[in-house]
Chains A and B, each alone.
Chain A
Amino acid sequence: MGRALDSLAAALGLAGLAVASGLVTVARLAAEGPGPSTVVPLLITLIAGGSALVRLSSREGWPSRVATPLLFGLILLWGWEVVVAGFQVPRILLPAPSAIGEALARAWPTLAADFWQTFVRSVIPGYAIGSGAGFLVAVAIDRSPFLQRGLLPLGSMISAMPIVGIAPIMVMWFGFDWQSKAAVVVVMTFFPMLVNTLAGLAAAGAMERDLMRSYAASYLQTLVRLRLPNALPFIFNALKLNSTLALIGAIVAEFFGTPIVGMGFRISTEVARMNVDVVWATIALAALAGSASYGLISLVERGTTFWHPSFRK
């Protein structure tokens, strides 16, 4: 107990030292530019941060599980800031994280409206419809080996296709507003879910199926008790894949025409106006939304497929 506390205290102390000397580095860089006075805090930050990471990651429990990637992310951000300030990278090429944060705060009302338009109105309905339809169709055609053999190669063929290319066609068909974006998302998310669910439904072993048959279990009972639980890892795989596909699909579709709101619209107009920091702020927001949904799905997956070998200790 005492040693554990010691190593936690040491890790936190090192992390604190890294943050403090990192701030000093950034402040000195901003005040007097790159020079010998920045080298010492730079080295301290790297060494203290690195050893804090090693100590934190060797500990169990959720606080260190959360703290480790956070600290790593902080170090990455700091490295980015230092490189941009130290080498005086032009703002157009790569703005510093501080400039991006500033842009995020400055343009917040617009960005929030863009987020609402793209994420809440296009991505979520499209994701739900596409994944839901893929799942239902997979369960439906699973009973017909004929359809399955016909649709499975077609489905994997189509999920390998560059479906983003249909974005201009969908915009022509469904107009500029969120409906066309949701349509792109539906098409993009449908096939991965179909293929994965079909593969998952086939994943239950012959022994288990025979056991269910010897119990005189009906089709529905076998489906609910045996085959769907066995398919869950595959379904979650598709859900995770789809969560990032959906965001990309909606944003890409907005490049081909949108009302004057939306994250894809913001990115394309601000690139044209050379407001690169606002572009990066939009990307940061998109990345945040994407990781949050991915994390949420992973949490549900951990709760429901805890028996899978990949989660066993």
Chain B
Amino acid sequence: MTAAAIPGPARRALSRRLAQGRAVPLAVVLAVLLVVWYAAAVWLNAPQAGEQLDRAGTPWTTADLVVRSWAMERPVLPAPHQIGAELYESVLNRPIDSRRSLVYHAQVTLSATLAGFGFGVALGILLAIGIVHLRTLDRSLMPWIIASQTIPILAIAPMVVVVLGNLGFTGLLPKALISGYLSFFPVTIGMVKGLRSPDPLQLDLMRTYSARPMHVFAKLRWPASVGFLFPSLKVAIALALVGAIVAELPTGAQAGLGARLLTGSYYGQTVQIWAALFMASFLAMLAVGAVGLAERALVRFRGGRL
């Protein structure tokens, strides 16, 4: 089956679909990025690579320099294929329960992320419901919820881990707490906005039906807020992942992607840092994608709209 076998109009339709879809533009942008990356790797690694070649003593050409700067052991900027090789090595070529397997570290981080996400979403929705319905809470609590996000979480993380460690809680719980703390905020903000999004006209209509607050909530506010909930959930799960990774930095670096980042930076293993970063980004995409799928399923269930 070649392009010639497709009749003309259908081929045009296919090419138009390709140009209007996301795949082709994304591929082009990624390809440009890749080229820029390789060029930047040469530019950043060339001084070091040149030094190494000089030390070897034999005369060398520009081609040698380029090849060498894409294959450094501790490059300033590793070339993409080096990161790919490291990812392949540590994902597929190691047993999954091994300390050197990225899958093992990713699974440790992901479980803390999901636990924290669940906790944060529940807390966020409850707070938003309280804030929308109780004026006292809105006036007194809302400014403090916003202020709570300005506390740099990494500074709290070591203390949270130490305090909970002293109380006998180690492992998942401290990390999940930090994840939850980070992820409740976007949910609260989005849900407050969403629960308040019904038009004054619609609220007035509910009043003419003499609907109780409970019914206004169930029939009007909650359905209206779902459209705001899902974008918040996407932000929240990404933040929960950041929280879990950041919480792994001070725990003595036993397991998890954060621990992987920290050991990488201790020993100057830039390739390992980048591989862990890519793995974390992959996890983030997976998590956000899962929320997106849930949103799509709900849209379909509700007959095409939120």
Q: A residues engaging B (CB < 8 A)?
A: 53-54, 56-58, 64-65, 68-69, 71-73, 76, 93-94, 146-151, 153-154, 156-162, 164-166, 168-169, 172-173, 243-244, 247-248, 251-252, 255-256, 263-264, 267, 271, 276, 279, 282-283, 286-287, 289-291, 294, 309-310, 312-313
Contacts and interface: CB of A to CB of B under 8 A. Distances in A.
A56 B139 contact: yes
Contact of A160 (B139, B196, B265, B285): B285
Given A53-B140, A93-B166, A309-B199, A164 B242 contact: yes
B165 to A, nearest CB: 11
A53 B137 CA distance: 9
A73 B284 CA distance: 35
Contacts of A154: 26, 29-30
B290 to A, nearest CB: 12
B270 A169 contact: yes
Contacts of B144: 69, 72-73, 76
Given A69-B140, A164-B242, A271 B150 contact: no
A255 B155 CA distance: 9
A286 B150 contact: yes
B281 interface: yes
Contacts of B138: 57
A247 B147 CA distance: 13
Nearest to A311: B196
A169 B273 contact: yes
Nearest to B238: A160
A156 B284 CA distance: 11
A287 B285 contact: no
Nearest to A168: B265
A28 B303 CA distance: 63
B234 A160 contact: yes
B288 interface: yes
B87 to A, nearest CB: 15
Contact of A150 (B26, B249, B281): B26
Contacts of A309: 197, 199
Contacts of A161: 238, 277, 280-281, 284
A268 B193 CA distance: 37
B159 A162 contact: no
B220 interface: no
- Main secondary structure, interface of A, reads helix
Contact of A251 (B147, B152, B284): B152
A310 B281 contact: no
A269 to B, nearest CB: 12
A172 B152 contact: no
Contacts of B281: 157-158, 160-162
B84 interface: no
Contacts of B261: 165, 168
A294 B146 contact: yes
Contacts of B218: none
Contacts of A173: 44, 76
Contacts of B76: 172-173
A162 B112 CA distance: 15
Given A57-B138, A72-B144, A146-B25, 14 more contacts: A69-B142, A149-B22, A150-B27, A154-B30, A160-B285, A161-B281, A243-B150, A255-B249, A256-B265, A267-B155, A283-B151, A283-B156, A289-B150, A294-B147
Given A69-B143, A72-B141, A165-B277, A251 B154 contact: yes
A57 B140 contact: yes
A283 B155 contact: yes
B245 interface: yes
- Main secondary structure, interface of B, reads helix
Contact of A157 (B245, B273, B285): B285
A248 B153 contact: yes
A166 B193 contact: no
B241 interface: yes
Contacts of B197: 309-310
Interface string B251-290: 0000000000100110000100110110011001100100
A68 B276 CA distance: 46
Contact of A69 (B139, B246, B265): B139
B241 to A, nearest CB: 6
Contacts of A162: 241-242, 245-246, 277, 280-281, 284
B37 to A, nearest CB: 13
9 contacts: A56-B139, A68-B140, A69-B144, A150-B27, A157-B281, A173-B44, A267-B155, A279-B155, A294-B147
Interface string B8-26: 0000000000011110011
Given A149-B26, A309-B197, A310-B197, A283 B152 contact: yes
A152 B152 CA distance: 28
Q: Which of A149, A256, A267, A310 has the most CB of B within 10 A?
A: A149
A167 to B, nearest CB: 9
A286 B151 contact: yes
A255 B152 CA distance: 12
Nearest to B134: A57
A144 B277 CA distance: 30
Contacts of B20: 149
Contacts of A312: 200
B170 interface: no
B158 interface: yes
Nearest to B280: A162
A252 B25 contact: no
